[in-house]
Each structure stands twice: as structure tokens, then as C-alpha cells.
Amino acid sequence: MTTPFDRLSALPLRDNLRGLHPYGAPQLDVPILLNVNENTHGVPHDVRQAILAAVEESVGGLNRYPDREFSQLRDNLADYLGHGLDRSNIWAANGSNEVLQHILLAFGGPGRSALGFPPTYSMYPLLAGATGTAYVTGERRADFNLDADSAARQVKETGANLVFLCSPNNPTGTAISTDVIEAVYSAGADAQAIIIVDEAYAEFAHQGTPSALALLEGRERLIVSRTMSKAFALAGARLGYLAAAPAISDALRLVRLPYHLSAITQATANAALTHSARLLANVEEIKAQRDRIVGEIGSMGLVPVPSDANFVLFGGLANPHEVWQGLLDAGVLIRDVGIPGHLRVTAGTEPETTIFLDRLRELVTPTVS
Ligand SMILES: *Cc1c(COP(=O)(O)O)cnc(C)c1O
């Protein structure tokens, strides 16, 4: 029997892609989807209307290429981020995955390396592989935190050309403190390393958690990456962006495809950004469910990892796959991220979270016979 693997092997595939598996979180048709950290709240009605009106207007001009510089969008994103940023500091693409790919195309490539600290976002090694960049793995503490000294030492020892710091980190939910980012930036000086702080979940952090945006001033190798996929509930629209020194955008212009952001994408994102307060209102509700999950899971005798994101990683499971399957049988899809004894769940709406917690409690509570 011919497997997809055999079919691939028969092709003259690039050597560094041989044996790799594509990103593949299951997309199953079940009632409660808590597996890929989407915003579980739909786009509110008034924002939907605003997006439709903006898209309708842009449709009249679809015979022309879109604004290649997406200037209006960069203005709106800079306004949203604040921190004295303007359009020259902003870059955007179809999801922050494409933003990260642009960064690797410009600053990675054959002979260069990118350092990540697993467990972390599973796309970093895939994006590195696709761009011919070597992916080097560093180490975290057992509690998934990262120490400034240790991180800086690893940056120096590896001599990496790029460093991925995911904060809050996926899949652990751990936020990285400012001193770690400063130490990593300094440690990368000799190698002129590009330091990427992936803040896909920044809006869900507990109050008072600083953003790396505050560190951009005077650090021309620092990049802060964000997305509209999570807090803005726009995963389907595909809009990610970054803030950095203006020279970074100049570098990324060399590798993007011309007109990479469609007029429809730009119209959608612009309309959503003018309603950011309305969209972000649901973030507080999601944070409450996230904190509720941490509390209740702890009371079940399981071990939740403290989270600043819209998901919770929890351990203490004797048989994670059985629990994952038991939840799926009840119509609740969560994620096995491959950490022994652990599973990850996205914070749902209040009713969704209740169903998840009730079913989980049944699955992990020993039945007395
Ligand atoms: C979800 C996620 C992203 C966002 O990806 P998009 O392409 O913007 O949808 C980026 N980084 C991390 C760590 C994520 O979990």
C-alpha cells in the first residue's frame, strides 16, 4: 500500500524537509472546540456590520491591486499598540505565522540558526525548516519558567542568529519577565541576534504584566509580534503584525510577496481595529474562565500551570490520552501537546467551560466501588 510518506519520498523534496510532518492540530466537527486557543466568543453583531460595510466598499476596487504598503492599517495598528509607535514601526502579514516567516526569510536561512525554548510554539521549528534555518533548542526550568542568566548563557553558547521568546508562552501559559528579555537582547549583541518576542496572547495577561513593547526604544534588533487571531476573535481573517525599529520593515519588504495583504483583509482588519474596545470586552470574560479553570483543576488534584494566556496546561494525569478521548466522547476537543502527563485546554465561554470541567472531574475522580 502506498502511504502519503512513500508518495513524498518519491519526490525530489529538499533534503531539510524530508521526514517532517505538517502542522496538524485536528479540525474535528464537535460541539465544543477548545483545542487551538481560538477566541471562543464570536464577532459581536455591530463589529460584524462594520466589517461587512468596509469589505463591501473595498469590493468595488478589486480590479486594482491593494495598497502594497497597507498604510491605513499600519496607522491603526500603531494607534492600538500605543507606546509612541507609528506606521514606520509596524509590519503585518496574513497571520503572525507569515510575519514570523518573513523574519526568518530575511534574517535566517542556510548557515544560520534560530533558538527556541521548548516546550514552546510548535510552528517555530517548522518555519525554521521551511526557510532552511537550523533550529536549536534551549532549556527551561522544570516549572517552565525561564531565568535571565540561563537564557542569556544559552543565547551566547549557541551563537544563534534569531531567538524566539514566546510570552505568554504557548503551550505553558507562562509570561516571560522583562529582565529575561533584556538579558537575552544583550547576550545576542555579538551575534547581532534578532530577538523575537511572540506576544500572541499578550491581551490575556494578568493586569500589570509588562509588554516587551516598552523595551523597543533603542533596541533595533528587538521585534514584538502580535496577532488579531486570539484577543480580537479574528483567527479566520488572518492578520498578524509586529512592532520594531523601522529598518526591520525595510528588511521584510525584500522578502514579502507583492501585495501580500488583500484589500479585503485590510478592510476587515481596519474595521475591526476601529471597534477594538468592543472586541476586547470579551477578553475579560475569557480571563475569568481561564482563572476558574486553574482553580477548579487544582481542586481536582491535578496540577495546572499558572497562565497569562487564554488556555491552561495541566499535569498530574496518569493517562492523558484516555482523558483526551473521554472528553472528545462528550463533545469537548482539547489538545495533547505531547508533554508527558499533561493536556492543554482553551478557556471557553462560561457554559463551555462548565461542561469541560464537569466531564474532566468525572474522568479523573476515582470511582468508589
Ligand atoms: C496562535 C499563535 C500565533 C498566531 O498565529 P496567527 O498566524 O496569527 O493566527 C502566533 N504565535 C503563537 C505562539 C500562537 O499560539
CATH number of 231's domain: 3.40.640.10
66 and 267 Cβ atoms separated by less than 8 Å = no
> Does residue 38's CB lie within 6 angstroms of at least one atom of ligand 1?
no
Q: Report the C-alpha gap between 257 and 253 in whole angstroms.
A: 8
Q: Ligand 1 within 6 A of 101 CB?
A: no
**Atom 4 of ligand 1, nearest CA residue:** 96
Q: Are residues 302 and 254 in the same domain?
A: no
CA atoms of 118 and 169, how far apart (whole Å)? 10
Report the nearest atom of ligand 1 relative to the CA of 98.
7
Distance from Cα 201 to the centre of ligand 1, integer Å: 8
**What's the DSSP call for residue 60?**
T
Nearest CA to ligand 1 atom 6: 95
Task: Give the Cα separation of 332 and 325 in Å (integer).
Answer: 9
H or E element, residue 113 = strand 113-116
3 state DSSP class of 33: strand
DSSP type of residue 145: -
> Hunting for cell 477594538 — which residue is that?
276
Looking at residue 70, the DSSP 8-state letter turns out to be -
DSSP string, 194-206: EEEEE-TTGGGSP
Compute the distance from residue 199 Cα to the ligand 1 centre, in Å.
Answer: 9
pLDDT at 368: 59
The pLDDT of residue 369: 54
Q: Are residues 287 and 270 in the same domain?
A: no
Rounded Cα gap, residues 346 and 70, in angstroms: 32
* pLDDT score of 365: 84
Pocket lining: 269 vs ligand 1, CB cutoff 6 Å: no
Say if 368 falls within a structural domain: no
Cα separation, 190 vs 40, in Å, equals: 43
Q: Which of 278, 309, 344 is at the close of a domain?
A: 278
Q: Check if 174 has its Cβ closer than 6 Å to any atom of ligand 1.
A: no
Boundary residue ending a domain (278, 294, 315): 278
CA distance from start to end of the chain = 47
Ligand 1 neighbourhood includes 133 CB (under 6 angstroms): no
- With respect to residue 203, please indicate whether it lies within any of the assigned structural domains: yes
Question: Contact 41/341 with Cβ under 8 angstroms?
Answer: no
Q: Which residues, in sequence order, are bridge partners of residue 241?
A: 92, 226
Is residue 144 included in any domain, yes or no?
Answer: yes
Q: List strand residue ranges (DSSP E) for 131-270, in order.
A: 134-137, 162-166, 194-198, 222-227, 240-244
Report the nearest atom of ligand 1 relative to the CA of 169: 13
For the Cβ of 229 lying below 6 angstroms from any atom of ligand 1, the answer is yes
Question: Going residue by residue through the chain (369 aa), what tens digit of pLDDT does each one get?
Answer: 677 778 888 899 988 888 888 887 778 899 999 999 999 999 999 999 999 999 999 999 999 999 999 999 999 999 999 999 999 999 999 999 999 999 999 999 999 999 999 999 999 999 999 999 999 999 999 999 999 999 999 999 999 999 999 999 999 999 999 999 999 999 999 999 999 999 999 999 999 999 999 999 999 999 999 999 999 999 999 999 999 999 999 999 999 999 999 999 999 999 999 999 999 989 999 999 999 999 999 999 999 999 999 999 999 999 999 999 999 999 999 999 999 999 999 999 999 999 999 999 999 987 655
Residue 13: inside a domain, yes or no? yes
Q: Is 166 in the pocket of ligand 1 (CB under 6 A)?
A: yes
- Tally the domains of the chain: 2
Ligand 1 binding pocket includes 121 (Cβ within 6 Å): yes
> Do 140 and 236 belong to one domain?
yes
Q: Domain check: are 158 and 193 in the same one?
A: yes
148 HSE (CA, 13 A, CB side): 9
Distance 97 CA to ligand 1 centre (A): 6
Cell triple for 180: 529575561
Is residue 98 located within the same domain as residue 231? yes
Cα distance between residue 284 and residue 36, in whole Å: 19
Task: Looking at the structure, tell me whether residues 10 and 60 fall in a common domain.
Answer: no
The number of beta carbons lying within 10 Å of the beta carbon of residue 70 is: 26
Q: Are residues 31 and 116 in the same domain?
A: no
Both 356 and 211 in one domain: the answer is no
HSE of 24, CA atoms in CB hemisphere, 13 A: 3
Instruction: Give the pLDDT confidence score for residue 16 in this predicted structure.
Output: 83
Instruction: Tell me how far the alpha carbon of residue 7 lies from the centroid of ligand 1, in angstroms.
Output: 30
Whether 215 and 349 share a structural domain: no
Q: Closest residue (by CA) to atom 15 of ligand 1?
A: 170
54 and 19 in a common domain: no
Answer for the pair 83, 214: CB distance below 8 angstroms, yes or no.
Answer: yes
Domain harbouring 333, CATH code: 3.90.1150.10
**369 lies in some domain:** no
Residues 154 and 234 in one domain: yes
Q: How far apart are CA 297 and CA 342, in angstroms?
A: 12
- Quote the CA–CA distance of 349 and 42 in Å, as a whole number: 10
Residue 334 included in any domain: yes
The answer to whether residues 194 and 292 belong to one domain is: no
Domain that includes residue 186, residue range: 45-278
Q: Which of 244, 278, 312 is the last residue of a domain?
A: 278
- The reply to whether 9 falls in a domain is yes
Distance 96 CA to ligand 1 centre (A): 6
Ramachandran angles phi, psi of 26, nearest 5°: -60, 135
Residue 76 falls inside a structural domain:
yes
